[in-house]
Amino acid sequence: MTVLTLTPGAVTLADLARVYFDEAPVRLDRAAKPAVDRAAAAIRAAAEGAVPVYGVNTGFGKLASITIAPKDTATLQRNLILSHCCGVGEPIARRHARMVMALKLLSLGRGASGVRWELVELLENMLEKGVTPVIPAQGSVGASGDLAPLAHMTAVLIGAGFAEYKGETLPGPEALAKAGLKPIPLGPKEGLAFINGTQFSTAFALAGLFEAWRCAQGALVTSALSTDAIMGSTAPLQPEIHSLRGHAGQIEAAAFLRQLLDGSVIRESHREGDSRVQDPYCIRCQPQVTGAAMDVLRMAARTLEIEANAATDNPLVLTEAGMIVSGGNFHAEPVGFAADMIALAVSEIGAIAQRRVALMVDPVLSFDLPAFLTPAPGLNSGYMIAEVTTAALMSENKHLATPTVTDSTPTSANQEDHVSMAAHGARRLMRMVENLDRILGVELLCAAQGIDFRAPLVTSTPLQNVMKRLRKDVATLGDDRYLAPDLETAARLIASGEIARATGLALPQVSP
């Protein structure tokens, strides 16, 4: 795979999406090296001096008042990493771990951390050769950095911990050796530079963002299918309605829905003489809800793009000012807010989609579709319990959408007395998008079934393309069958983006 060269401070969401989805290996633009070298030289000078500099020749956290002798600075950094390897829980997925590593590279590449270039190269080589540290999922409160997970990542660089290499989980030194790499002992401040930072929280927030955006694209498609399945009106998509309000996401969602439904024979068949005056909100207000969620996701995206390019350890080396200064860039509050925003958007996309599913299975509301979308109600239950499953998933996501950033607690003997909880706020997004994939997958199945019942009338060309893609893997439901595989297949088609791409249309992008 081609190595992706990234410029610290100028990385885009498109770059980060490649790191996440493609697991692309990463190298820093070599123009970053002089700044990294200057900061490393400043740290070496400080370590040899008599003036206390936090984390260079002092202890950490509440122990910052204790001075460390120059001969012990290397031991200090090694002890820091080993003592902070206190993560618990299941190891995070490989792609998430690689995203953490890439984000740490970007932060170090800003030239404010004081690490040697050879450590940058080791991290790059680990990415390229596929040495992935085993990082437990739990243990970070998202302030003073993602200390425990980043310590587990860093442990492999110094010849400790564990790593995955070619499908095997091995002790860190063995994994490095098999890849032709060697561990590097840490110098002054280098351990602190690696574990102070928001890269774990940011990696999961970005992953949640990318997956949520695919869900938003899929939701526009499934909602258009549902509109045709219940013979809904396209009048609420009139452009002037949305321009009068002015929200970009709403305007874009309405425009895309118009494209999706343009040319539908089903729609034209009831344009005149339809006794219904208005559709329920889950049909009529799709642009206002999904479009608003798109706006929220884009706001979160901007925050996370900034954070991905940030130097977030402590202290920071300000080479032009000739200073090494303690600050608080490790505090993941911006990431925590972004994760909460993404969670709210995911929850709401699922909430309105679930109501469309409920609409389609209800013969009172579905405009003459058979009960539970089965050709023989009574003998068959059709999608009755599939709809119940979506209700369960929707409710679960509502609970998971509760903000985490408001839940602070003091740690480290009250030295770190306000924390962001961004790490688990971002991690929960994976569970939420999986739930949403399944909600939208059920909507896809129900809407396609409903459109099949409208034959010989047909939907639009883009939506016919979607139907063809679905029917390659999932047949129209006749008599009841074992449905679990159908639900998983439909969810996979949503999650992969295949359903949205099957339209053949240019899709809304998270960076408009």
* CA distance readout (Å), 356 to 191, 242, 361, 371, 438: 52, 21, 9, 14, 14
Q: Scanning the structure block, which residue is given the tokens 């642009």?
A: 287
> What is the C-alpha to C-alpha distance for residues 95 and 20, in angstroms, rounded to an integer?
6
Instruction: Read off the amino acid at residue 437.
Output: D
Distance of CA 337 to the CA centre of its chain: 14
- DSSP of 46-83, one letter per residue? HHHSSS--TTTSB--GGGTTSB--GGGHHHHHHHHHHH
- DSSP of 325-347, one letter per residue? E---TT--HHHHHHHHHHHHHHH
The set of long-range contacts for 71-77, using a CB threshold of 8 Å and a minimum separation of 24, is 73/47, 73/187, 73/188, 74/185, 74/186, 74/187, 74/188, 76/191, 77/186, 77/187, 77/188, 77/189, 77/190, 77/191, 77/192
Q: Scanning the structure block, which residue is given the tokens 């049909």?
A: 283
Given the residues 20, 54, 165, 383, select the one marked as catalytic.
54
Q: Is 482 a catalytic residue?
A: no
Rg (CA), the chain: 26
Phi/psi for 287 (5° steps) reads -65, -35
Q: Which phi-psi region, left, alpha or beta, contains residue 231 (left: φ > 0; alpha: ψ -120 to 50)?
A: left
Phi/psi for 22 (5° steps) reads -95, -10
Phi/psi for 67 (5° steps) reads -85, 140
Cα atoms found within 13 Å of the Cα of residue 290, Cβ hemisphere only: 35
Task: Extract the tokens encoding 479.
Answer: 């008599």
- DSSP of 253-293, one letter per residue? HHHHHHHHHTT-HHHHHTSSS-------HHHHTHHHHHHHH
Cα dihedral 173→178→180→185 (10° resolution): 0
Contact by Cβ (8 Å): 505, 460: no
- Closest to 126 (Cα-Cα) out of 181, 201, 204: 181
Q: Active-site residues: which are they?
A: 54
